[in-house]
Amino acid sequence: MKGARPVGYFVHHQGRGHAERAAAIANRLIDLRPVTLFCARDDIFPELKSGIRIERIPSLFEPSGREAPAMASLPMPETVHCAPVGWPNITQAFAHIARWFAEERPALFVTDVSAELGHFARLCSVPHVAVLQHGERGDPGHMAAYESAVGLLAPYAASLEQRDRPQRLRDKSHYASGVGVDCRPFPTREDARQRLGIDPDRELVLVVAGGGGEGTPTAPLTLGARAEPDTLWVTIGQVRSEWHETPPGNLDHRGWVDNPRDWIAAADRVVSSCGNTTVHMILAAGKPWIAVPEWRYFDEQVCKAEVLDREGLAAVARHWPAHAAGWEKLWAAARLIDPERQRAVIADDPAADAAAWLDETAQRLWRGAPPHPPLEVVA
């Protein structure tokens, strides 16, 4: 590691998945070369190994109240997604990163996720790796970022790639299925239920609500639970209710929990959205599963759901069921899913593999380059 160029890693602070996979990779990469994480928050990361630095930067996505209102309605060029004009936060964040580029002369800059920072790294003559996500991302902004990247890091299996992903992008992609997600073998159903205090003989449907949106709507859940009065329906995570609901007694909202693995292990059947962390936890557990995509930019969850449906890994609903028969149709499909096929999608040690790939990419790119003293930074 001595003398190795560092890796910079931008981490989006929405949700949990970006920080979790960045931490997992950084904890392996730090044994090979220095790592610096750039994020608007420093309190969202799991435990990091000694030596990993976190540089707080202003948010690129949230106004500070100091923006120039006259420029708020300027049209966005098709080559970018989030590049408003007159935002001091963005100016300061980019200046912070540019100064680090000049002082540290990094081997790579990883973006998870920001097409604009990918463009920025390339324009600063710093090779960058873009984290690849599902979604309708064939627009000029995404494609320019992907084309200019020296590599793409996909936090899912190659078998879950979208059919419309160009082969030239697949060829420079590293697939790390389940990276950052706790996919260790799950406890048995019996052990999990004993810890949770749940009747070992009662049917349990678990609804896993993610943290990246407004919450899972509970009105459709009341319909599913009411149709199965002898089955316990439990939600974990963020949910939202509507005034017209008539909640049945077998629907229990637990909110955020510290032991989602126990709940998933205890469940007989699972309902969830299609966030990356949630998807990989359920795949690792192997369960009859209904997946309902939530709204996300670029139809990210819709495209992920389509892939899960294509591969026979989940019963996918295009929208929340509006009546009991809708639920039963989905459960009939979910019962046909092979749990072993679900578990086979998860990689054994994706974080270590991703870290090794990043290190090998850096070595290949910088082979034969002279030593890297810091550049002169003009004040």
The per-residue pLDDT for range 161-216, each reduced to its tens digit, is: 999 999 999 999 999 999 999 999 999 999 999 999 999 999 999 999 976 667 89
Q: Which CATH class is domain 7-181+347-366?
A: alpha beta
Nearest to 216 by CA among 271, 175, 259: 271
CA angle, 73 then 122 then 97, to 5°:
75
Helix (H) or strand (E) holding 131: strand 128-131
Place of tokens 């960045």: 22
Average pLDDT over residues 305-325: 97
Homologous superfamily of the 189-343 domain (CATH): Glycogen Phosphorylase B; (3.40.50.2000)
Mean pLDDT, the chain, rounded, equals 95
What are the Cα distances from residue 296, in Å, to 15, 163, 220? 12, 20, 20
Dump pLDDT digits (tens) for 331-356. 999 999 999 999 999 999 999 999 99
Tokens matching residue 129: 């790796």
pLDDT score of 356: 98
Dump pLDDT digits (tens) for 274-286. 999 999 999 999 9
Distance between CA atoms of residues 343 and 277, nearest Å = 14
Please report which confidence band the pLDDT of residue 379 belongs to, taking 50, 70 and 90 as the band edges: low
Tokens matching residue 204: 């349990």
Distance between CA atoms of residues 19 and 37, nearest Å = 10
CA 282 to mean position of chain CA atoms: 14
- Which residues of the chain form CATH 3.40.50.2000? 7-181+347-366, 189-343
Half-sphere exposure of residue 246: CA atoms within 13 angstroms, side-chain side: 3
Q: Is 125 left (phi over 0), alpha (psi -120 to 50) or beta?
A: left
Tokens matching residue 124: 């600063």
According to DSSP, the residues that pair with 206 across neighbouring strands are 234, 270
Nearest to 35 by CA among 253, 266, 310, 354: 354
pTM higher than the cut 0.85: yes
Distance between CA atoms of residues 156 and 350, nearest Å = 9
Nearest to 137 by CA among 299, 316, 13: 299
Please report which confidence band the pLDDT of residue 294 belongs to, taking 50, 70 and 90 as the band edges: very high
